[in-house]
Amino acid sequence: MAQLKLSGVKKDFGGVEVIKGVELDIEDGEFVVFVGPSGCGKSTLLRLIAGLEEISGGTLEIDGKVSNDVPSRDRGIAMVFQSYALYPHLTVAENMGFSLSLRKTPKAEIDKSVLQAATILKLEHLLDRKPSQLSGGQRQRVAIGRAIVREPSIFLFDEPLSNLDAALRMETRTEIAKLHRDLAATMIYVTHDQVEAMTLADKIVVLKGGVVQQVGAPMELYRNPCNAFVAGFIGSPRMNLLKVDVTSVEDGKVRLAQPGFEHLVVPSGRVSGPGKALLGVRPQALTLNPGPHQVSGTVTLVERMGPETVISIRQADGSPLLAVLPGDVELALDANVSFSFADTDVRLFPASDLEN
């Protein structure tokens, strides 16, 4: 159990700034997920917390103590690597007990801790195997077991599920969630998969280009994304962002020039004046029922899943649009369709959000 405070944390690699001043508070026992596209600096931020990289600027406090220069082994952390990083020459039991054996813990005590962790992860029958004799999923559990044995106050996970197949990924995800409930430790988890972020996190940190975009509970980010990037990243399938022209902003309400949106009045959000903007509509907010606000185009793809149908259309200006309709819907390819949506289901963002 530990709390963390990052203040203005920066990291540059040979002059290239990769983490650009991160402010973040992590509470005791919280499950925090860093999410963002590949290369945004998630792993680097995690490695700064782990002490595997040196912090170039700002401070990292663990339990109120500035820990920038505290070596990894004294930070009370354990880390699960994407590649598992199991010691190939040691058995599963030796891998899990490695940290204790370094501390010259008596053998009986090591065996007890290892067995305890192995029982939680159902690894008892594999204790004498070498990592090379295990499947990917089993290796992953051993890596988690090795972390548990250390009894850390902070668990760090770097994309732990990305090398597993879909079924195993879901199973292990459930297990990690259960582990968090049972151990009540602080967990920081890195992923590029927003589904993992949504399902596991108490708190999601959305990163882009080394900058924190938004921090909040999963549903908070889903309902109130602060910018078009977060809006597009959280939620599946991704939110439609329609290019629109703002004609006027009055009393925090915006009017749009687009045909079909003449009657639409949306909160201006961060849009301050007339010009280009992005109108965010979740695919699930679109319906085939007629309504005052319309988007239309020709059907390019129909994916019938059973409980829902995902329809891709191309609008008149060539831009794509995605709609998710409940139940099974039959639509012919190249048919013209119109979807409508409610005023309350849309969100406006400045066009500059998606630049750079």
Binding site residues, ligand ADP, CB under 6 A: 13, 18, 36, 38-44
Amino acid residing at 152: P
133 binds other proteins (CB under 8 A): yes
CB of 54 to ligand ADP, least distance (A): 11
Q: Which is nearer to other proteins, 46 or 281 (CB)?
A: 46
Rg (CA), the chain: 24
79 touches other proteins by CB under 8 A: yes
Under rule CB under 8 A, residue 77 binds other proteins: yes
For residues 84 and 222, which CB has a smaller minimum distance to other proteins in the complex? 84
Closest among 163, 125, 161, 122 to 145, alpha carbons compared? 122
The binder of other proteins chosen from 7, 72, 287, 315 (CB under 8 A): 72
CB of residue 127 to Mg ion, shortest distance in Å: 30
Among 18, 33, 43, 60, binds Mg ion (CB under 5 A): 43
Name residues contacting other proteins, limited to 140-179 (CB under 8 A): 146, 150
**Which one, of 170, 151, 208, 180, lies nearest residue 356 by Cα?**
208
Asked if 250 and 257 touch (Cβ cutoff 8 Å), the reply is no
Amino acid 307 reads P
Q: What is the nearest approach in angstroms of ligand ADP to the Cβ of residue 36?
A: 6
Q: Which stretch binds other proteins (CB under 8 A): 46-54, 170-178, 190-198, 209-217?
A: 46-54
10 Å Cβ neighbour count for 343? 13
Cβ proximity to other proteins: between 86 and 121 the closer is 86
Nearest to 48 by CA among 162, 156, 182: 156
- Closest to other proteins by CB, 88 or 290: 88
Q: How far is the CB of 46 from ligand ADP (least distance, A)?
A: 8
Cα separation, 80 vs 33, in Å, equals 14
- List the single partner that 88 binds among ligand ADP, Mg ion, other proteins, none, CB under 5 to 8 Å by kind: other proteins
Question: Which residue matches tokens 């939110």?
Answer: 239
Contact between residue 288 and residue 335 where contact means Cβ atoms under 8 Å apart: no
The residue count of the chain comes to 356
Min CB(228)–Mg ion separation in Å = 24
Q: Which residues contact 290 (CB under 8 A, 6 or more apart)?
A: 338, 340
Residue with tokens 């687009």: 258
Closest separation in Å from C-beta 48 to other proteins: 13
Q: Count of residues binding Mg ion (CB under 5 A)?
A: 1
> d(Cα 37, Cα 209) in Å, to the nearest integer?
9
Instruction: Using the minimum distance from each CB to ligand ADP, give the nearer residue, 34 or 155.
Output: 34
Considering the complex, state which of residue 41 and residue 280 has its C-beta at the smaller distance from other proteins.
41
* Contact (Cβ atoms closer than 8 angstroms) between residue 11 and residue 53: yes
- Minimum separation from the CB atom of position 64 to other proteins (A): 22
Helix, strand, or coil here: 281? strand
List of residues contacting Mg ion (CB under 5 A): 43
